[in-house]
Amino acid sequence: GGLLDQLHWACQIADLSDVDLFITDADSGRFLDCSRSAHERLGYSRAELLGMGAEQIQADPDHDADWLKQQLQLLKAEKQGSFTTRHRCKQGNVLDVLVNHSVEELNGRTVIISAVIDRTQQRSRELELERQLHLVAEGEAIHGFGSWRHVLISESMVWSAQMHRICGTDPTNFEPSFEAYTSLVHAEDRATWRSLYHRALQRGEPLETRHRLVLPTGELRHVYLCGQVDCDDEGVPLRMNGTIADVSTGAQLQQEMRLERSRDPLTGLPNKEATLEWLDHLLLGRPYNANIAVISLDLDGFQEINDSFGSETGDLVLQRFSQLLREQLGTGALLARLGSDEFAVVIPDGIRSLGDAISRA
């Protein structure tokens, strides 16, 4: 009981993210505790899942009892790490997952704390994006990649004709140089570009970066640039050789994918992923003594609505509920749907104390 009490709070925290948390006995492989999202994603009740072991949710045929025994020994030896596998849900569908684990000694008992990330939808979207980007890449190959060389001792650069076309410059009146190229890089990307380029030179590492160019015509262009450092026998950098490609269409596809991933399709509200990203951004720029309120809401009895009147009626309730919340909150607060009947409100301003947050709740 004492051990589970210590871990129960961690499971509740995990429900605020897209990570499913499992607490497993390192000797038997039996589940000791889990976050709510963990058992719901697999289609089990909490009691059902805690009556099972890691072997029973494995979907890969090779991941049998012997594999699990070896895996537990390996995990205990390595203490922490990650691996990919597949989990089978109660309904029979299979999830592609990434498992990050850490072995801990708690109250004389060895447990494995596993953070499991469902990559099924993400992988499907990645494959679609890869397919679209492959089509873009084929189109780019018709026109060719631009090539360039930066000779460090003279600080001179040589650009191919395609490099000039991508950068929108006229080779007859444009003198290529590192600074000349940097002047084309979007002001918001310039510091990162300089840092990555100089780090590659100093460490002799390959350069790989995506950034935006502002062409002389004012057109904005997304480019993918990579390079390789050539050094002398003593390891002193002599030159950087590389290529550049226009990936503006691919960048647009990625932006569309990010927007699609950030919205709950039923209510149009930001989803859990978008909320966590927004919170990260908010907290990074937050003064030490500035407070924010994070309020978690759910609908009591919502499952009874679905059971009695059907999921379509339940969807209407969720849509109306989110509309009412937006009207109550007004501007200045973030409303998000975390999943099912769970909502979150983030109030970044006007919160001086816990009492203020409770009052707003």
Each residue's pLDDT tens digit, 195-230: 999 989 888 889 999 899 999 999 998 888 999 999
Rounded to whole angstroms, the Cα distance separating 334 from 291 reads 15
* Biggest alpha carbon–alpha carbon distance for the chain: 78
Residue with tokens 């594999």: 67
User: Any idea what DSSP says for residue 58?
Assistant: B
Model pLDDT, residue 132? 60
Point out the residues of the chain with pLDDT beneath 50. Answer: 1-3, 133, 136-137, 139-141
Rounded to whole angstroms, the Cα distance separating 20 from 8 reads 13
**CA distances to 25, 31, 33 from 1, in Å:** 14, 14, 11
Model pLDDT, residue 14? 52
Rounded to whole angstroms, the Cα distance separating 207 from 240 reads 9
Model pLDDT, residue 136? 44
Model pLDDT, residue 330? 75
Model pLDDT, residue 10? 54
Rounded to whole angstroms, the Cα distance separating 325 from 329 reads 6
- Spell out the residues 6+ positions from residue 247 whose beta carbon is closer than 8 angstroms to its own: 133, 136, 140, 210, 222, 223, 224
Q: 298-334: buried (b, 16+ CB within 10 Å) or exposed (e) per residue? A: eeeebeebbeeeeeeebeeebeebbeebeeeeeeebb
Model pLDDT, residue 169? 94
Model pLDDT, residue 17? 57
